[in-house]
Structure 1
Amino acid sequence: MFRTALRNVLAHKARLLMTVLAVMLGVAFVSGTLVFTNTISDAYQKSSAKGFDQVDVAVHPEGGKDTGDTVGKRPELTEAQLRISAGVPGAASAIGVVDGFTALADKDGKLIGGGFQSQGGNYWGTDDPRYPLKEGRAPHGAQEVAIDSETARRAGYEVGDTVRMSVDGPVLTPRITGVFTTDDGNVAAGGSLALFDTPTAQKLFGKAGTYDEIDVKAAPGTSQTALKAALDRALPRGTTGTTTGEQLADDQAELISSQMSGLKQGLLVFAGIALFVGTFIIANTFTMLVAQRTKELALLRAVGASRRQVTRSVLIEAFVVGVVAGVSGLVAGVGIGAGLRSLMGGLGATVPDGPLVVSPGTVATALVVGVVVTMLAAWLPGRRAAKIPPVAAMSSVHAKATTKSLVLRNTLGALFSAAGVAVVLYATTLSGSDGQAPMGLGAVLLIIGVFILTPLLSRPLIAAAAPLLRAFGVSGRLARQNSVRNPRRTAATASALMIGLTLITGMTVMAGSLQKSIDKMASAAIRADYVVSMANGNELSPGVERKLKDTDGVTTTSPLRNAPSRIDGRTEYLTGVNGSAIGDLTDLKVDDGSFTVGGDRVVVDQDTAESHGWKAGSAFTVHYEDGKAQRLTVAGVYEGNELIQGILLDTAALTPHQSDPADMQVMVKTSGGASGATKDRLEKALGSNPAVRVQSKQDVSEEIAQMFTLMLNMLYGLLAMAVIVAVLGVINTLAMSVFERSQEIGMLRAIGLERRAVKRMVRLESLVISLFGGVLGIGLGVFFGWAAGELLGTRMATYELVLPWARMAAFLALAAAVGVLAALWPARRAARLNMLQAIKAE
């Protein structure tokens, strides 16, 4: 039986090729998704990674004891502490580290590393072991800088060039004196790193004579633990702390893991969907394959083979096919993963640099899908064929599914679908994250249920297309009959496209609804024409507001100045605003009292008021960061949102208690309203600074929605893969269908059906099957998009369901295009069959 199985595989080369192709598609879908997700995840992870090779022990400031009533600023590391650290027993060297945000512009004036951190720091001495020089020399003085080699390569900078940059202040134009290499993961993932000499860096980052960290290198023979103990004894307690390099690396890895968990979970969902679709394709192929070979298997039974031997022969064939397809599918998947990343970049998503990641897990998964899933998918139809009596198999009595099996399938599908709908509807009644798990479970149950019911659904939905198919005469009628002749095959063929379109339609509905809701939020909450902020979200210098006030056309400004405080024994952040102008710049609904900010009168958002039990007229004591206390009165309670929330008070009350005032944003109203010319004027007033963003309300809305846009672009990339898989899957199914119906097609040709009509019949059959999958996918996607929106609506008062009719029409047209493309080769093959040979075919 083993030799028979191998000979059978090699004897039917065309069938072998189609089977390998089908399995390879499933493997490529899964491995391509894993390569893509691992590559993106690894690149984002590298953006947060930091090398600790040159650090045995890091000395950092400690915040001191928290009294519960004061919010003190952390002490800074001094030159004296640096000298102490360098001189402790077991220390080989000590480096004072200064760092901060540094916006570096390319030659077109645009910020380098958009979407990633743009960092700056100090180059230690003339030979910094952290940053080996690749070209040039170390920077000296305020007019010189060194940049990393990746940034130099991406932006086309060379030693001697002048570069525009900003460090929380006016634009600088230093000359590049050196290019260095670094293992900084932020750079590897698309960010930039600029280094100044230490005095310049301290001045630029507002840390004159102090450091953010001291990195100590151990002398040979001294352990990190021993060096840490020596530093703890030498340095003053309460103001400094120490951490070993090993602990820093472990903490960093844990932090990155927690930051990446959400992205990884989302991307693994895509991989799971890929596995789901791939399994359907493989199972569908082997079901058709075994059905075609039923007479052959019955003949083996008739000459003495046992049921177990027949099943085993099918499994051996599946194993050979699985190994070949697993390896080839892995190679194709690597190419698909690379193509998806390029496609994302083409769609406007910010894609980090980095190599393709083909992990051992991806290789193992590809082989498991190729071999194990293939054998599992082949086992059931092989076992089913082996159980059929030889006489019944050779007389085709087995061909139709029994009424009992259809009733069982439809009952099971109805139960799964009903359970899925019920769980999804239950999830919409929950709030926040409580509903996420039930929503996911309900979605899986509903998709499985619809897949099981698809053969039942295919008849009425395809029948609905009958009036259109009649216009194509005999070809149209035959196409409709062929589409419903084997509902299970039709259902399995349409499933890959259905699942892909379910995912992308649901996410498109959610993204469109969220974008609309955010637009409503921005237009409802903000009257200002522009919001000015730092490109990385850090604080602005108060001088920015002063410059904007003096700009022609600017009528009103207000900072949003955040500061920590203590209220009722817990930390609360205050937001300082221009009390006399904030009412003209915002439009926040007041539920209690009046929107009055000035003196000791403040306004508070609903959530904060409820957490403290405040209402209009309530008074409370605030402890500022300098330790001083003040009694404030709640003038009004307003409805906060993602743009403006918390306790708003006048900057005149807040600023005297701040040692280093800084603004998170500045809101600006102009006489001419928002326009391109006004925006240009504001940007020029700020020196065309690459670190500062001037955004209109629409810009703010788009920035908040950027995360959803990125996810949607990733989904469009995955949809592209799903479309490729769907096209090839339909081609494979139609090719096998043509092979199975060779005798029938020969008879049709013999009684006068033209080749053109045969082609049209196959094309229409493919079109109907693809549109069937498209309609199911879009319908499910709209339902899931609505349900997920109901869940999000509990957090966002302005949420509103938006159905993207144009995009859904495009998705349906895409399904039709899949059907047309998939039918090209099978239709040509059917039309070229020799009618006499086809009539004689078994």
Structure 2
Amino acid sequence: MFRTALRNVLAHKARLLMTVLAVMLGVAFVSGTLVFTSTISDAYQKSSQKGYGHVDVAVQPHHREGGEGNPGEAPKLSQGLLDQVSKVPGAAFATGSVNGFAAIADKNGKLIGEGFSSSGANYYPGPGGKDARYPMKDGRAPHGAGEIALDAKTADRAGYKAGDTVRISVDGPVLTQKITGIFTTDDGSVSAGGSLALFDTPTAQKLYGKPGEFSQIDVKAAAGTSQTALKAGIDKVLPKDAESVTGKQLADDEAEIIARSMDGMRTSLLVFAGISLFVGIFIIANTFTMLVAQRTKELALMRAVGASRRQVTRSVLIEAFVVGAVAGVAGLVAGIGIGAGLRALINKTGSAIPDGPLVIAPSTVLVSMVVGIVVTMLAAWLPGRRAAKIPPVAAMNSVHAVATTKSLVVRNSIGGVLFALGAAVVLTASSSTMLGLGAAVVLIGVFVLTPLLSRPVIGAAAPVLRLFGMPGKLARQNAVRNPRRTAATASALMIGLTLITGLTVIAGSVQQAIDKMATQSLKADYVVSMASMTSLSPDVEKKLSAHPDVTATSPLRMSPSRVDGDFQNLTGVNGDSIGKLTKPEFTAGSFAGLSGDKAVVDDATARTHHWKPGSSFAVTFEDGKKGRLTVSGVYKGNDLMRGIMVDTKTLAPHASRLDDRQVMVKTKNGTSESVKDSLRKALGDNPAIQIQTKQDISDGISKLINVLLNMLYGLLAMAVIVAVLGVINTLAMSVFERQQEIGMLRAIGLDRKGIKRMVRLESLVISLFGGVMGIALGVFFGWAAGDLIKKGINTYELVLPWGRMGLFLLLAAVVGVLAALWPARRAAKLNMLSAIKAE
């Protein structure tokens, strides 16, 4: 039986090629994902370990939970503590670190780095007057407020050298600095395409905190002292608002964070790989069903001469094992190429990954082989079992075993139950997990019901097909002749288009909801913020309010506090002008009189605390001082505006540092490019600051949604490619099965052009059937997801992208036409006499 199975594999090389390709694509996606995520995870982890090479113990501020201390940030570390730590037995020296955001402009005024990875820090001279973390490649360390040092990679990218001047921004205002030195660093963010500017310590403290304070103290152990022993000594001198961590623990923690972040990416990519494999299962099952059907007489003869049912099933599974093993190996090799290609692609986009080797873990090899073999054998098991159950005499009398009425009734009943169950879960889902589970059950139910649905849906195309004469009529009959095969072929395309349509419907609806939210919430002409989403200096609002075209401004200033014992951010706004810049829907009260101890709150917060206008509540401000605020208004919150708002004058006395999240601006003549340019010039043409209109905000979110959508389209394209292979495979094997029929058609007058048209129309009908089903299901899932999305975006409404849905249907038609090219050509080239004699 083993030799027979191998012979059958070798005898049907061309027919099994499509199956190998389908499995190979899915396996390549899986192995490529594992190689890519393992490679970048390893690169980042090694980079982070290098970054902690100069740290044996780190002292950090410790914010105590549970009501102790002030609601604001944990206290910074003092110079006195640094001096004390450096004298602990076993400490060689201690370095004080200060860091924050620093946007650096290139010579054309554009922002260098990756925004969030554009950072600044201090140069802290240690033994010998040098900072071991940042060896100088050229020039010297910075001294004084007008000097910086720049990392070598950023300097190379921007063409800077020691002695040049550069424009930078920390929190809004532009600073012109002289580059005194170029340094090298093992900092992981720099290796990954970010930038790093170094100031001398007093300047960094002034920019990022307070004079004499540090955000972290790094201690280097003396020779012979372990990290654990040094930590124990340091713990004895630490105050209650500071804690120590070993360098090894820091590296391990960062490695764990990197691993977790990679897990999310890996899971997302593997989901799409799973979809491709799921689609591939239909093709494999279809292929083996047809191969077994073609060999029914052969298998019956084997049964007649003594082979058992188990042996027949086993021979089919052995064929599947060989096919799966070949596909697994090919998929692994292709996946390694995909992993390397993804890394190169990301590097080309500017989001550089730290240097490191391509990582091919043993688990990647094992998973690739297991996936290839197991998926193929699972898909082939049912056709093999079905073939083994056919009685030998019946099999010898009929080449094709027709499904019994009972089996179709059972199948339709199971499909109906699954569809109803899945739809009930989708319609009542309270989480995305439940929605996804219900959608999967619905898809399986529809797949089981597809043979039942194929006849009426394809039958609806009969009037159109009649226009093509006899080839059209034959194409319709061929499409519904074997409903199970048509269902399996169409279902592969249906799954891909269901996901693509559903995502498009949700994305379009979310985009409109955000547009509506921005229109409803904002009256401001412009919103000014840092490109990195870090805090703005209050000087930005002062400069804007002094501009001759500006009629009103208000910051959004966040301040941590404790409200009725719970941590809660207060939002500071200009009470006199906020009503001119925003228009939230108030359910009670208004912005009028927002000053002193008055506050307006969003409806969700009001419901949580059972507040209404006139209610008062206790508040502990950032500096620990206590007070009471009175609710003067309740408004409907959304993603652009929510929380507790008070006047900035109420917050200012309690804030350790005044930072604005953004500034809203109203101008005399509304929005225009000339006004925007004028505002930009007033802020020093700062590349780190973005000035956006409501349309800009909407376009930015739309661009992000489209980027994500295009990425998802690219990932789902794999499933569509697999579906195309399925249509080709089905048609090719259908042509082989119908050789006699095609020969007879040729003999009675149907020319080669008519044969080609018949096969193409059959392919087109099957593909459009899958497309219609996929688009209908996608719209259903998009509509069902609306209830979940409305909980976070109350302006969400279903939007049907008719243009894109028409494009998807056209895509299904193109798939059908392209998939039929080779089978149609093969059918037309059949010799009619040889075909008539074929068995």
Q: Same fold (TM over 0.5)?
A: yes
- 1:119 equivalent in structure 2: 119
Distance 1:10 1:179, change over 3 A: farther
Distance 1:512 1:64, change over 3 A: closer
Output aligned runs, 1:129-208, within 5 Å. Answer: 129-132=132-135, 138-139=141-142, 142=145, 144-152=147-155, 163-174=166-177, 180-208=183-211
* Aligned counterpart for 2:825 among listed residues 798, 823, 828: 828
- 1:329 equivalent in structure 2: 331
Output aligned runs, 1:87-102, within 5 Å. Answer: 87-102=87-102
- 1:57 equivalent in structure 2: 57
* Aligned counterpart for 2:542 among listed residues 543, 546, 550: 546
2:116 and 2:299 mapped to 1: Cα distance?
61
1:59 alignment partner, SS class: strand
Q: CA deviation at 1:362?
A: 4.0
Whichever residue aligns with residue 770 of structure 1, its letter is S
| 1:387-442 residue CA offsets vs partner (Å, 9 max, x unmatched) | 32333223216521111111111111111001001111112xx4xxxx33321221
Is this contact kept in 2: 1:558–1:666, CA < 8 A?
A: yes
Q: CA deviation at 1:453?
A: 0.9
Q: CA deviation at 1:733?
A: 2.0
* Aligned counterpart for 2:452 among listed residues 447, 452, 456: 456
Whichever residue aligns with residue 100 of structure 2, its letter is G
Report which stretch shifted further, 732-741 or 659-668: 732-741
- 1:800 equivalent in structure 2: 797
| 1:672-693 residue CA offsets vs partner (Å, 9 max, x unmatched) | 2122222222112111212211
1:452 and 1:515 mapped to 2: Cα distance?
35
Is this contact kept in 1: 2:275–2:719, CA < 8 A?
A: no
Distance 1:797 1:379, change over 3 A: closer
Report which stretch shifted further, 268-277 or 527-536: 268-277
1:763 and 1:23 mapped to 2: Cα distance?
25
Q: CA deviation at 1:580?
A: 1.0
Q: CA deviation at 1:524?
A: 0.6
Q: CA deviation at 1:571?
A: 2.5
Whichever residue aligns with residue 459 of structure 2, its letter is A
Whichever residue aligns with residue 433 of structure 2, its letter is A
Q: CA deviation at 1:352?
A: 6.2
Is this contact kept in 1: 2:26–2:273, CA < 8 A?
A: no
Q: CA deviation at 1:345?
A: 11
Whichever residue aligns with residue 567 of structure 1, its letter is V
- 2:233 equivalent in structure 1: 230
Report which stretch shifted further, 603-612 or 301-310: 301-310
| 1:336-394 residue CA offsets vs partner (Å, 9 max, x unmatched) | 56777899999xx9966478775544433321222122122222212221232333223
Distance 1:719 1:677, change over 3 A: farther
Is this contact kept in 1: 2:193–2:350, CA < 8 A?
A: no
| 1:228-271 residue CA offsets vs partner (Å, 9 max, x unmatched) | 11112234x22432112233234434555666666555444333
1:609 aligns to 2:606 (yes or no): yes
- 2:391 equivalent in structure 1: 389
Q: CA deviation at 1:170?
A: 2.6
Whichever residue aligns with residue 375 of structure 1, its letter is M
Report which stretch shifted further, 732-741 or 43-52: 43-52
| 1:304-332 residue CA offsets vs partner (Å, 9 max, x unmatched) | 33333322222222222111111112333
Report which stretch shifted further, 490-499 or 739-748: 739-748
- 2:309 equivalent in structure 1: 307
Q: CA deviation at 1:31?
A: 4.1
- 1:5 equivalent in structure 2: 5
Is this contact kept in 2: 1:41–1:260, CA < 8 A?
A: yes
1:242 and 1:128 mapped to 2: Cα distance?
21
Whichever residue aligns with residue 311 of structure 1, its letter is T
1:297 and 1:156 mapped to 2: Cα distance?
74
- 1:417 equivalent in structure 2: 419
- 2:293 equivalent in structure 1: 291
* Aligned counterpart for 2:722 among listed residues 706, 713, 725: 725
- 2:105 equivalent in structure 1: 105
2:225 alignment partner, SS class: coil
Whichever residue aligns with residue 386 of structure 2, its letter is R
Q: CA deviation at 1:108?
A: 4.3
1:737 aligns to 2:734 (yes or no): yes
2:326 and 2:163 mapped to 1: Cα distance?
55
Distance 1:72 1:187, change over 3 A: closer
- 1:82 equivalent in structure 2: 82
* Aligned counterpart for 1:523 among listed residues 497, 519, 526: 519
Distance 1:284 1:272, change over 3 A: same
Whichever residue aligns with residue 446 of structure 1, its letter is V
1:341 and 1:722 mapped to 2: Cα distance?
22
The alignment covers a number of residue pairs equal to: 833
Is this contact kept in 2: 1:146–1:178, CA < 8 A?
A: yes
2:352 and 2:523 mapped to 1: Cα distance?
36
Report which stretch shifted further, 467-476 or 245-254: 245-254
Distance 1:192 1:296, change over 3 A: farther
* Aligned counterpart for 2:636 among listed residues 634, 639, 643: 639
Distance 1:60 1:31, change over 3 A: closer
1:185 and 1:790 mapped to 2: Cα distance?
42
Distance 1:63 1:17, change over 3 A: closer
Is this contact kept in 1: 2:155–2:182, CA < 8 A?
A: yes
Q: CA deviation at 1:227?
A: 0.5
Is this contact kept in 1: 2:489–2:726, CA < 8 A?
A: yes
1:45 and 1:716 mapped to 2: Cα distance?
31
Is this contact kept in 1: 2:279–2:722, CA < 8 A?
A: no
* Aligned counterpart for 1:648 among listed residues 640, 645, 668: 645
| 1:642-669 residue CA offsets vs partner (Å, 9 max, x unmatched) | 1112222222222122232121111100
Output aligned runs, 1:295-694, within 5 Å. Answer: 295-335=297-337, 353=353, 360-396=362-398, 398-427=400-429, 430=430, 435-596=431-592, 597-694=594-691
1:127 and 1:753 mapped to 2: Cα distance?
89
Distance 1:746 1:343, change over 3 A: farther
2:525 and 2:50 mapped to 1: Cα distance?
40
Whichever residue aligns with residue 271 of structure 1, its letter is A
Is this contact kept in 1: 2:30–2:270, CA < 8 A?
A: no
Is this contact kept in 2: 1:625–1:658, CA < 8 A?
A: yes
Q: CA deviation at 1:114?
A: 4.2
1:722 and 1:42 mapped to 2: Cα distance?
29
Unaligned runs of 5+ in 1: none
Report sequence identity in percent.
69
Is this contact kept in 2: 1:519–1:701, CA < 8 A?
A: yes
2:138 and 2:475 mapped to 1: Cα distance?
69
Report which stretch shifted further, 63-72 or 707-716: 63-72
1:668 alignment partner, SS class: strand
2:236 alignment partner, SS class: helix
Unaligned runs of 5+ in 2: none
TM-score of the aligned structures, taking structure 2 as reference length: 0.92
1:27 aligns to 2:27 (yes or no): yes
1:769 and 1:339 mapped to 2: Cα distance?
35
Report which stretch shifted further, 70-79 or 251-260: 251-260
Q: CA deviation at 1:136?
A: 6.3
1:823 and 1:678 mapped to 2: Cα distance?
58
TM-score of the aligned structures, taking structure 1 as reference length: 0.91
Distance 1:741 1:106, change over 3 A: farther
* Aligned counterpart for 2:708 among listed residues 702, 707, 711: 711
Q: CA deviation at 1:554?
A: 1.0
Whichever residue aligns with residue 244 of structure 1, its letter is T
1:783 aligns to 2:770 (yes or no): no
| 1:795-828 residue CA offsets vs partner (Å, 9 max, x unmatched) | 3221111111111111111111111111112212
